[in-house]
Amino acid sequence: MSSETSRLVIRQALPAESAHVASVLAASAEALRARGELLWTSAEVSAEAIEQDVRGGLYYLGCDADGPAGVFRLQPEDQLFWPDIPAATSLFLHKLAVRPDKQGQGLAHALLRHALICTRQAGRRYLRLDCIGGRPKLRAVYESFGFKHHSDCKLGATVFHRFALEVRNEAASSSEAGEL
């Protein structure tokens, strides 16, 4: 399945596209590192590290006229951050990233819309995600899209904010698509 905005075509990444996915993740991680925010290490977002998930169909790639511009991983379960959620009720979004030179153009919301479509098509009631605490700009992106703060969880010494978005039925979603 793919969707298209006026500038971005979003689709499931092909098995041979691990390097494209990794390039977006690495560029985003490096820009954060330059601002003093460590999110992902280079090793965590290398093509080798993500290859199995790309081959498993978990990564989605958003491309514009210049090539890969954004990515996200969408998985059917998340026992690390969401062990309390009943099976088959949600999809879980991770590693949402937009190339630094493409940020501020609405691409994050386009990627989130696509994840929401995937969640609806999978028959899941919720799209869930988490983000490390202390990132108010990222939290604002999620909340402006419609995600509601669900709870916080602590892994080791790090606090993560957990967010959920209830998937609307097809009739409501088509008439309210502009409101998401």
As to burial, measured by CB atoms within 10 angstroms (0-12 exposed, 13-18 middle, 19+ buried), residue 73 is buried
pLDDT at 180 > cutoff 70: no
Q: What average pLDDT is seen over the chain?
A: 91
134: left (phi over 0), alpha (psi -120 to 50) or beta: left
pLDDT at 82 > cutoff 90: yes
pLDDT, residue 117, reads: 97
Entry pTM: 0.89
pLDDT tens-digit profile of 117-168?
A: 999 999 999 999 999 998 998 999 999 999 999 999 999 999 999 999 999 8
pLDDT tens-digit profile of 41-77?
A: 999 999 999 999 999 999 999 999 999 999 999 999 9
pLDDT at 178 > cutoff 60: no
pLDDT at 5 > cutoff 70: no
Q: Domains, the chain, ranges and CATH? A: 2-179 (3.40.630.30)
Determine which of 30-44, 98-112, 143-157 has the lowest per-residue pLDDT on average. Answer: 30-44
Q: What percent of the chain has pLDDT over 70?
A: 90
Q: How many CB atoms lie within 10 A of CB 140?
A: 10
What is the DSSP-derived secondary structure letter of residue 14?
P
Residues 6 or more apart whose Cβ sits within 8 Å of residue 66:
none
pLDDT at 175 > cutoff 50: no
